Amino acid sequence: MKPSFAKERAMQRLVFQTRSFSFHLFDFDASGDLSGLELAAAARSLLNAPLFSAQDARAWSFASTGKPNLSLAWLDDDDNLATLALRSREAAARIIEHRPERLARHSFQAALPWDVGELLAALAFQLKIRAQPLLANSSWSYLELQVEPLQVIRYTKNGHYAPHSDSGWPGHRRLSFLVYLQAPIKGGETCLLPAGWNFSLHPWGAGRYRMHCAELLQAVGAVCFCPVPGRMLAWRNDWNADGSLEVPGAHVACPVVEGEKWVASAWASQTCDQGTVCQTHAGR
C-alpha cells in the first residue's frame, strides 16, 4: 500500500498559495505578528490541515524566517513573502517526513481493479442495488461504477482525511460509496459536512480535533457515522442546477485515535459527455 499523500502536489500548492494568502486575517489579537497559535490557525486554513499544531507552526516560522513569530510588516514586503513561500517548501518537507498526518490527508491506499474476481463483481452488484434509492430522477445508465478501481484505504493512528469533496473535473463522481472493512478502537468517524461548508474553516486546535473531531463537527451541523465493518455509507455529490456549487458532498475522515481503520471507496461517475452540469465545469 502506498501512502495516499501526494507530497509533490501539496508542495506546489503551498508555494503558490502562500503568496496569495491573507495572513493578516489570523492576527486575532491585532498585535502585528502571528504567534504560534495564530500561525497554526493560518497554516490549518492554508493547507487544509486540521492537525497542524502550534509547535509545527513555530518550527515552520523559525525555519522560514529565523523567528518563532511571523511579523505582518515583514510579510508586507513582496520579496519577504516570496522567501517565505520558498523556505516553506523545505520546512513543510521536513514536517511531512516526520509527521505525515500533519497535512490534509494521511492514509495508505491501494487500487483494486474491479475485474479481479467474483467477490468484487458481487460487491459491484450490491452497490448498484443499494444505490437505487439515491438515484432520484436518474438511473445507472448515466453512471459508471467501474471507471475507477476500488480504493482500499488503511488509516493508522492519526490517519485522517481533511474536509474534501469527492467530486471533480472533468468527470463528476455523482455517488460516493464507502464500505467499512475494519473499525478502529477509537476515532475514525466519517462526517458529512453541512452544505456551504467553508473549506478554510479550521477553528479548533489540532489537539482537540485529533481527539474529538466527530463531536466538534457534529456541533456545527455535520452528520457523523462510526465505522461498522460490513456496513456501507453512500451519498450524492450534487451540484446546483446551474453548476455553481463547487464542493458538493463535503466530508471528513476523522483522525484514528486508537487501532486501525480500513475502508473501501468507490464512485459512480458521470462522464463529461453526459449532462449539462458536467459540461459547465468541463472547461475549467
Which residue, 23 or 161, has its beta carbon nearer to ligand AKG? 161
Q: Out of 166, 175, 187, 252, which residue is the one contacting Fe ion (CB under 5 A)? A: 166
Residue 253 binds what, of ligand AKG, Fe ion, none (CB under 5 to 8 Å, by partner type)? ligand AKG
Answer yes or no whether residue 265 interacts with ligand AKG by CB under 6 A.
yes
Residue 190 binds what, of Fe ion, ligand AKG, none (CB under 5 to 8 Å, by partner type)? ligand AKG
Which residue, 151 or 274, has its beta carbon nearer to ligand AKG? 151
CB 5 within 8 A of CB 106: yes
Answer yes or no whether residue 190 interacts with ligand AKG by CB under 6 A.
yes
The nearest distance, CB 163 to ligand AKG, in angstroms, is 10
Which residue, 56 or 166, has its beta carbon nearer to Fe ion? 166
Nearest to 168 by CA among 253, 254, 271: 271
Which residue, 161 or 209, has its beta carbon nearer to ligand AKG? 161
Chain centroid to Cα 284, Å, comes to 21
Answer yes or no whether residue 253 interacts with ligand AKG by CB under 6 A.
yes
Residue 178 binds what, of Fe ion, ligand AKG, none (CB under 5 to 8 Å, by partner type)? ligand AKG
Question: How close are the terminal C-alpha atoms of the chain, in Å?
Answer: 32
The nearest distance, CB 106 to ligand AKG, in angstroms, is 11
Instruction: Report DSSP letters for 219-269, one per residue.
Output: HTT-EEE---TT-EEEEE-PPPTTS--SSTT-EEEPPEEES-EEEEEEEEE
Q: Which of residues 226-245 bind ligand AKG (CB under 6 A)?
A: none
Residue 18 binds what, of Fe ion, ligand AKG, none (CB under 5 to 8 Å, by partner type)? none
Q: Which residues form the interface with ligand AKG (CB under 6 A)?
A: 153, 161, 166, 178, 190, 251, 253, 263, 265
Q: Which residues form the interface with Fe ion (CB under 5 A)?
A: 166
